[in-house]
Structure 1
Amino acid sequence: MTQTLTAPPAQRPRLRLTRFRDLALVPAIVLLVLVGALIDPVFLSRANILNVLQQQTELSLLVLAEAVILIAGKFDLSLESTIGLAPALALGLVVPAASHGLGTDWPTALAIPLCLLTGALIGAFNGLLILRFKLSAFIVTLGMLIVLRGLQIGLTGGQNLFDIPQSVLYLGNAVWLGVPASIWICAALFAVGIVALGFVRHGRAVYAIGGNVDAARAAGIRTERIVWSVLIVGGVLAALAGLLMTGRLGSVAAAQGQGMIFTVFAAAVIGGVSLDGGKGTLFGALCGVIVLGLINNILTLGGVSAQWIQAIYGGIILVALILARLTSGKAQD
């Protein structure tokens, strides 16, 4: 009886520490803003801030997708290739052969639906291999990353696709109320994700599945259906990120998205999302994206070579793992 009464208080300090870890990046963001202002007065200009946020929108959508998948207890490394293949395939079907298209000349109005559908199909196929064939999510999505990258290079012939439809260019370059549309889109999707995971039954079930899939199944949660849905949504978000990047740059690069998955995991981990599943918040993941974006911008304005940025990202991940150990009492394996 005594143990039953004293157990809840013993859990409260750790809960508070975990919540603190989700919000710990807020003062870090404030500190980075102050550092950036001291390094270069241009840092605080409206144009620079909007530029930093817009450049991070594609990464933000990938982090949003990966964070939900990680909370559900799975991995998806193929998001890095989906952001490139989905727009490459969709635009290859609609742009003329003279612009390195496939020569099919489908209606340009199909570009956006085809891209999103491609992302959904990739996520669904990942779910088939992971859930029906019981294969490792890490190995499956690693293999898909390689396959999709090869398909992208094969479809594009190693060349950039240009002559992009106006609808795609609009997504990447439109300005709403003085702010790039991509920033509004990203903010809206994060808001939807935060509400869904926090207040919708199926969203809360994602945490239950990631925390203990057997207990979730015993509680009547359709675990496979929800995880499959999460993987499909992740693929769609990656495809949308590809559309935003294509519209912003005005072309689809043959290597679009290459290397992004490392930054995606860096942002998610430093934002407090556990690699073990069942823990973390989308707000924390978004803060992780902002931190990396600010660091990148500060290093650029400070004249630091781009080759050092990846090393700094790796160091940030190691520090985040140490903090996770200190605040939750458990390392993120």
Structure 2
Amino acid sequence: MPDTALSDSRAAAVRQRPGLIGGRIPLARLRDLALVPAILIIAIVGQIVSPVFLQPDNLLNVLQTMSEIALLVLAETMILVVKKMDLSLESTMGLAPGVAAWLVVPVGTGHGLGLLPGGWAIPVTLVVGALIGVVNAVLIIRFGLNGFIVTLGMLIVLRGTLTGISGGQTFFRLPASMLYLGTTEWLGVPASIWICLILFAVAIVVLGWTGFGRSLYAIGGNVDAARAAGIRTDRVLWAVIVAGSVLAALSGLLLSGRLASVASAQGNGYIFTVFAAAVIGGISLNGGKGTMFGAFTGILLLFMIQNVLTLAGIPAQWIGALNGLIILAALIVSRITGGKAQD
């Protein structure tokens, strides 16, 4: 009897995997492709608004600025799939490179301490991101605290810490190691774009076509059933939360490299765009649903809309309001296509 229950649980976990390549695509999963026509329409509208829109330089600029927040979307999507939430990603994006800059920027030239050589900047950034993820995981998994409250508290703590170590000022004169990923080009395309596309491609494969990916959907769908199926749920959750924070740290590194500085407010407010992209990309806040492809199209659509609005001369202040309207529209579409809103 237990073997039968185990088999049923594993079968349920497999059914959680959304198909995008090969086989029959479930009707509910067509929502993950729904933004593709919208992206094409925005491209046409953008070209009508300004002939600059489809120029290679403009498209590369859109993709480069998008790539930094896109990594936050990738991280948040993994976390949402397992029915968790991390609001602190935006602060991790600022604090991780901020700590690195604080330690490697020479004294008196860019508000740093000059304690470490510049080559340590990238390792320090990623380690700080991992440590933040570990703290979040301990509080959420080990102590069973509410993820929303924990990460909200961490958001405030990390933001205050960055303000404290920077004195409210901006770190500048960053070492070449911190500038490299945000400024260099590979094959004529900014490195940050390559990094974003490669990581999303890997995530699409992992979530859609591996046992680890199926585990994420199984945990998000029903954690007890996933545990009964032999999935080490706590270990998977640890991996997802820590990986999310490391991705946020990498995102901050890309942004700092492009801007050649780390501001005391770096990342503030980004989490709203991240959730907007995830929701309109078909990611369920109830866990267990959505794809990385959908999340990618969500953030791409948002940045294309922002670029069109900018080229049309519309004030940037209206972009935030538009993101909110898009989220509400996505929830309505979710109700119609899925029969249930994504609460």
Calculate the TM-score normalised by the size of structure 1.
Answer: 0.94
Percent identity, please.
62
Q: Find the counterpart in structure 1 of residue 243 from structure 2.
A: 233
Question: Which of 320, 326, 331 is equivalent to 1:316?
Answer: 326
Sort the Cα spacing of 1:199 and 1:16 in 2 relative to 1 into closer, same or farther, 3 A: closer
Structure 1 partner of 2:30: 20
Q: Aligned-pair distance for 1:262?
A: 0.3
Match of 1:211 among 212, 221, 227: 221
**Structure 1 contact 172–182 (Cα < 8 Å) conserved:** yes
Of 38, 43, 47 in structure 1, the residue corresponding to residue 53 of structure 2 is: 43
Gaps of 5+ in 2: 1-14, 16-24
In the TM superposition, residue 105 of structure 1 has moved relative to its aligned partner by 2.4
Q: Verify the 8 A CA contact 1:17 1:328 in the aligned structure 2.
A: no
RMSD across aligned positions (CA): 1.1
Q: Which residue of 1 aligns with 2:291?
A: 281
> Which residue pairs with 2:3 in the alignment?
none
**For 1:248-295, what per-residue CA distance to the aligned partner results, in whole angstroms no more than 9, with x for missing partners?**
000001100000000000000000000000000000000001000000
The runs of 5 or more residues in structure 1 that have no matched partner are 1-7, 9-14
Report what 2:192 is aligned to: 182
**Which one of 272, 275, 280 corresponds to residue 270 of structure 1?**
280
2:274 paired with 1:255: no
Matched, 1:195 2:205: yes
Q: Are positions 1:84 and 2:98 aligned together?
A: no
Which portions of structure 1, spanning 4 or more consecutive aligned residues, are displaced by more than 4 angstroms? none
- CA apart distance, 1:17: 3.0
1:162 and 1:116 map into 2 onto residues whose CA distance is: 19
- Structure 2 contact 112–171 (Cα < 8 Å) conserved: no
The match for 2:109 is 99
Distance 2:42 2:109 in 1: 42
Residue 4 of structure 2 corresponds to which residue in structure 1?
none
Answer 1 or 2: which has greater helix percent: 1
Q: Secondary structure at the match of 1:98?
A: coil
Question: Residues of 2 paired with 1:102 and 1:178: CA distance?
Answer: 33
Q: What SS does the aligned partner of 1:44 have?
A: coil
The SS at the match of 1:210 is helix
Report if the CA contact (8 A) 1:124-1:232 is conserved: yes
Number of the residue aligned with 1:114? 124
Structure 2 match to 1:301: 311
Q: 2:175 aligns with which of 154, 159, 165?
A: 165
Q: Which amino acid is 1:125 matched to?
A: V
2:111 and 2:170 in contact (8 A); partners too? no
- Aligned: 1:74 with 2:84: yes
